[in-house]
């Protein structure tokens, strides 16, 4: 059985209860995890409160060194961690390894920034006084992490929180706790003081609610679907907690008639079908200029036909299973709704056949055409391997239709025309715009959304600011 990690120790749930974690490709039990509850959250919070003064007062460079050391300890276990993540999440092992490498890069990025936090000197109208702005850690923080990228999205919270001098507890998704539990254990073994970083597993309705309601947790970072994010904001807001919410998206990709078709094809295929389409920044609506539409679609169908669907443990697999039965059912319902409203399936649109697929949550990569704007797959976030394709006459129509969404997370444009690229970057209603580039989140760049896609930013030096409180100090000199 996997164990939680609280106050520097591996612990089971006080109730003795556990639950099964199953492989989405085979249905087999990977391991069991503790079914923690409010009592475990309170224990983690008490440990974090006790550890906070010492961690806050630790020299920033020393905090950074401990994070660097933790990253190195995790790196030594990367191959076995990648296999564990694939077994519990479903993605191909190569994708799991890339995710853990991304986690390590982010941890080291913030380790390097720990000693780079700066305040300000402020001249005041009265020549006998001046002001200072100092930045201090908030206190006990919590990160609530989803199942699609359970390690990277844990890192985007742990890194800046600890580098800034806060203490933290993590709640992983109930279906993907195992790799996160092991990594938190390794980071503690690398030398973090007791209580600085804990992890509690259990149902969101219990563990998550205690995090939101507990007044001693001063900062919550949540990544997940928009509906849950609204609940997080409502409940945590009653306690005046500091919040960042990284929520759903319906990212548009625009390909102009002067774009590099081959690069854009790769961008569309990888951007939609990586991690079986289960990414908040995945391409979910593809807009093609009329003159290139037929050529692009034909070539994209060819690319999709070559994607090997299968168990993520097989080295030739490029598309693993969806993570849960409910996730697959939602995609099937969205595709069926699109077809009912006049949409046409160009490829895919069903489950693969054969004994290898019977026990897993597999679904073929799917392309759709002639989908109306009121279809569910256009109006909702589509979290799986299905992509609707639209024909547009020019950039104005493409941008207008791209912005016709409640979401505003990512977006991209593929063009050789700098004027078009600049216009799209300025006019697309999204927190992030990629120009001739895959939708990839970089630790060096702020990441987050507008509209229903969230509040605040993760990644980049900007993320540190969400883990610090500015304090104004006025100094009388004479």
Give me the pLDDT at residue 192, please. 98
* 256 a catalytic residue: no
Length of the chain as a residue count: 478
Residue 240 tokens read as 């005046």
**Residues near 357 by Cβ (< 8 Å), separated by ≥ 6?**
309, 310, 351
Which of 141, 256, 276, 280 is an active site residue? 280
* 246 a catalytic residue: yes
Closest CA to 71 of 471, 449, 443, 376: 443
Contact between residue 330 and residue 383 where contact means Cβ atoms under 8 Å apart: yes
Q: What is the mean pLDDT of the chain?
A: 97
Residue 126 has pLDDT above 90, yes or no: no
Give me the pLDDT at residue 127, please. 85
Which of 40, 246, 332, 458 is an active site residue? 246
Mean per-residue pLDDT for 228-252?
A: 97
Sheet holding 129-137, edge to edge: 120-123, 129-137, 468-476
Give me the pLDDT at residue 338, please. 98
Give me the pLDDT at residue 147, please. 98
Please give the Cα distance from 173 to 161 (Å, whole number). Answer: 19
Paired strand residues for 366 = 386
Q: What is the pLDDT of residues 426-463, one digit of tens each?
A: 999 999 999 999 999 999 999 999 999 999 999 999 99
Give me the pLDDT at residue 139, please. 98
Closest CA to 236 of 253, 256, 211, 257: 211
Write the burial class of residue 350 (CB in 10 Å: 0-12 exposed, 13-18 middle, 19+ buried): exposed
Side-chain-facing half-sphere of 141: CA atoms under 13 Å: 33
Give me the pLDDT at residue 478, please. 73
Q: What is the pLDDT of residues 131-183, one digit of tens each?
A: 999 999 999 999 999 999 999 999 999 999 999 999 999 999 999 999 999 99
Q: What is the DSSP letter of 439?
A: -
Give me the pLDDT at residue 249, please. 96
118: phi then psi, degrees, rounded to nearest 5 = -125, 150
Scan for tokens 């939708």, then name that residue.
439
Q: Is 8 helix (H, G, I), strand (E, B) or coil?
A: coil
CA distances from 346 to 9, 192, 472 (A): 53, 53, 60
Angle between helices 152-163 and 60-75 (to 10 degrees): 160
Residue 347 tokens read as 């490829």
Q: What is the pLDDT of residues 132-143, one digit of tens each?
A: 999 999 999 999
Q: What is the pLDDT of residues 43-73, one digit of tens each?
A: 999 999 999 999 999 999 999 999 999 999 9
Q: What is the pLDDT of residues 4-44, one digit of tens each?
A: 999 999 999 999 999 999 999 999 999 999 999 999 999 99
Angle between helices 60-75 and 78-89 (to 10 degrees): 70
């Amino acid at each position: 059985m996997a164990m939680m990690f609280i106050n520097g120790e591996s612990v089971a749930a006080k109730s003795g209860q556990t639950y099964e974690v199953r492989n989405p490709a085979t249905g087999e039990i990977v391991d069991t995890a503790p079914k923690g509850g409010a009592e475990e959250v309170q224990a983690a919070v008490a440990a974090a409160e006790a550890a906070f003064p010492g961690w806050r007062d630790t020299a920033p460079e020393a905090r950074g060194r401990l994070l660097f050391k933790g990253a190195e300890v995790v790196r030594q276990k990367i191959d076995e961690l990648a296999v564990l993540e694939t077994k519990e999440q479903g993605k191909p092992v190569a994708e799991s390894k890339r995710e853990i490498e991304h986690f390590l890069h982010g941890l080291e990025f913030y380790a390097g920034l720990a000693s780079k936090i700066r305040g300000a000197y402020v001249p005041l109208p009265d020549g006998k006084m001046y002001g200072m702005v100092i930045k201090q850690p908030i206190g006990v923080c919590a990160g609530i992490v989803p199942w699609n990228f359970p390690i990277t999205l844990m890192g985007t919270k742990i890194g800046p929180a600890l580098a800034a001098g806060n203490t933290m507890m993590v709640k992983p998704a109930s279906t993907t706790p195992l790799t996160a539990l092991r990594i938190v254990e390794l980071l503690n073994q690398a030398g973090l003081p007791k209580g600085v970083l804990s992890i509690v597993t259990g149902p969101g309705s219990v563990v998550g609610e205690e995090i939101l309601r507990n007044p001693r947790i001063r900062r919550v970072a949540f990544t997940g679907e928009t509906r849950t994010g609204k609940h997080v904001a409502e409940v945590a807001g009653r306690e005046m907690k500091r919040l960042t919410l990284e929520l759903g998206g319906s990212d548009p990709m625009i390909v102009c008639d002067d774009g590099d078709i081959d690069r854009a094809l790769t961008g569309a295929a990888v951007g939609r079908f990586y991690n079986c389409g289960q990414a908040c920044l995945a391409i979910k609506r593809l807009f093609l200029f009329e003159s290139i539409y037929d050529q692009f679609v034909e070539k994209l169908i060819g690319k999709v036909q070559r994607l090997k669907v299968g168990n993520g443990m097989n080295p030739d697999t490029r598309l693993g299973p969806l993570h849960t039965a409910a996730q697959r059912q939602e995609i099937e319902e969205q595709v069926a709704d699109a077809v009912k409203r006049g949409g046409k399936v160009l490829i895919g649109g069903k489950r693969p056949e054969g004994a290898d697929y019977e026990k897993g949550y597999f679904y073929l990569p799917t392309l759709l055409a002639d989908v109306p704007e009121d279809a569910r797959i256009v109006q909702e976030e589509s979290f799986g391997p299905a992509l609707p394709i639209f024909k547009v006459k020019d950039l104005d129509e493409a941008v207008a239709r791209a912005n016709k969404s409640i979401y505003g997370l990512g977006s991209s444009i593929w063009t050789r025309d700098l004027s078009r690229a600049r216009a799209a970057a300025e006019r697309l209603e999204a927190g992030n715009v990629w120009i001739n580039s895959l939708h990839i989140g970089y630790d060096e760049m702020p990441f987050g959304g507008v509209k229903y896609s969230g509040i605040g930013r993760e990644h980049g030096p900007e993320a540190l600011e969400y883990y610090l409180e500015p304090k104004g100090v006025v100094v009388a000199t004479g």
